[in-house]
């Protein structure tokens, strides 16, 4: 199935929890890749497929967006 495109040629997505950050670490091993973004002084880690990491051509220092879709959010006191 082809990806939906906007008039600018970028893929469209329904997720609204989007956090812009910088790639500070990427490690590809086997079928999976660990991607760490720095966002507002915090680190967000995602495990994605190695194919997806290669397709996105992610490199340390690149800008990237973390798209967060969760069924629940937990709150804890620091």
CATH number at residue 39: 2.40.50.100
* pLDDT tier for residue 64 given thresholds of 50, 70 and 90: very high
Q: Determine, yes or no, domain membership for 12.
A: no
Spatial separation of the C-alpha atoms in residues 9 and 6, rounded to whole Å:
5
Q: Quote the number of domains for the chain.
A: 1
pLDDT at 4 over 50: no
Q: Determine, yes or no, domain membership for 72.
A: no
Q: Determine, yes or no, domain membership for 13.
A: no
Q: Give the residue among 42, 77, 51 at the shortest CA–CA distance from 66.
A: 42
Domain range for 32: 18-58
Q: What is the arithmetic mean of pLDDT over 5-33?
A: 84
DSSP-assigned letters across all residues of the chain? -PPPB-TTSPBP-----EEEEEEEEEEEETTEEEEEEEETTEEEEEEEEHHHHHHHT--TT-EEEEE---S-------
């Amino acid at each position: 199935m082809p990806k939906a495109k906007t008039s600018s040629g970028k893929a469209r997505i329904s997720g609204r929890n989007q956090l812009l950050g910088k790639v500070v670490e990427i490690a590809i091993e086997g079928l999976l890749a660990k991607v760490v973004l720095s966002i507002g002084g915090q680190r967000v880690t995602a495990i994605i497929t190695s194919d997806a990491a290669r397709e996105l051509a992610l490199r340390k220092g690149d800008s990237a967006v973390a798209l967060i879709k969760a069924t629940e959010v937990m709150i804890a006191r620091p």
